[in-house]
Amino acid sequence: MSKFSATTAFAMLAAFFALQPTAGKAAVVEGFAYLNNPASSDAVIGFAHSSPDVTFTVPSPVNPACTGSLSGDTLCFNSDTSAYTVGAFLTGGGATILTGSPAALGATLDNTVLEFTGSVSVTNGETFTVGHDDGLQLKIGSDLVIDSPLETAFVNTTETYTGPSGTLPFDLVYGECCDAPADLAISLPLVSSVPEPISLALLGTGLIGLAAARRRYN
């Protein structure tokens, strides 16, 4: 094998390693909080905003914070008048704060928009139920699954997904506009980033081929 070919083989396997998720590591839901945003009373996907005031992640596909009546949910946030701040709302729901000033985390949750993004594995005809106070929208792929953006007292909304089956990105926008309490609870079929068997098989084949190439080259 030529030196160029051996170098190329090394580069290809290095790229493969870089692109593969860490085995056993769960995918992460990314979150963004926007304070004093007008969309809090009309929580629509694609709302106007500048940089987020707070960024965070939520563990998936299982969130240890979702217990009791919220067991089985993957996003579960609630706050009352005694803990009605952005920071308390997020950490109480199992979120890990990535960025956010003490002032932003201590700010009242009122007039805040929260956005959650990640990937889900869905099937056509699957139903989704979300408990919320106030409004939200949920988009999976190009399909707007839940469209309940306006202020409301606590309500459970159930809708059916009618898009294609498969692994698709999701975008959930939740607005808290009008005093405590704030509630959001939903179970999403979040995707865990464990390498599939075919990926592991390809990796093994590549390693064997690389070892043979190195022996021939040396």
**201 and 144 both lie in a single domain:** no
Look at residue 178 and tell me if it is in a domain: yes
Mean pLDDT of the chain: 82
Looking at the structure, do residues 126 and 202 belong to the same domain, yes or no?
no
Q: Which domain holds residue 56?
A: 23-194
CATH code: domain of residue 34:
2.60.120
In a domain, 218, yes or no: no
Q: Report pLDDT for 4.
A: 42
Tens-place pLDDT, residues 18-33: 444 433 455 689 999 9
User: What pLDDT, in 10s, does the model give residues 107-131?
Assistant: 999 999 999 999 999 999 999 999 9
Q: How many domains does the chain have?
A: 2
pLDDT in tens, 173-217: 999 998 888 999 999 999 875 444 444 444 444 444 444 445 554
Q: Do residues 9 and 52 share a domain?
A: no
Considering the chain, what percentage of its residues have pLDDT values greater than 90? 61
H/E/C letters for each residue in the chain?
CCHHHHHHHHHHHHHHHHHCCCCCCCCEEEEEEECCCHHHHECCCCCCCCCCCEEEEEECCCCCCCCHHHCCCCEEEEECHHHCEHHHHHHHCCCEEEECCHHHHCCECCCEEEEEEEEEEECCCCEEEEEEECCEEEEECCEEEEEECECCCCEEEEEECCCCCEEEEEEEEEEECCCCCEEEEECCCECCCCCCHHHHHHHHHHHHHHHHHHHHHC
User: pTM of this prediction?
Assistant: 0.78
Whether 41 and 125 map to the same domain: the answer is yes
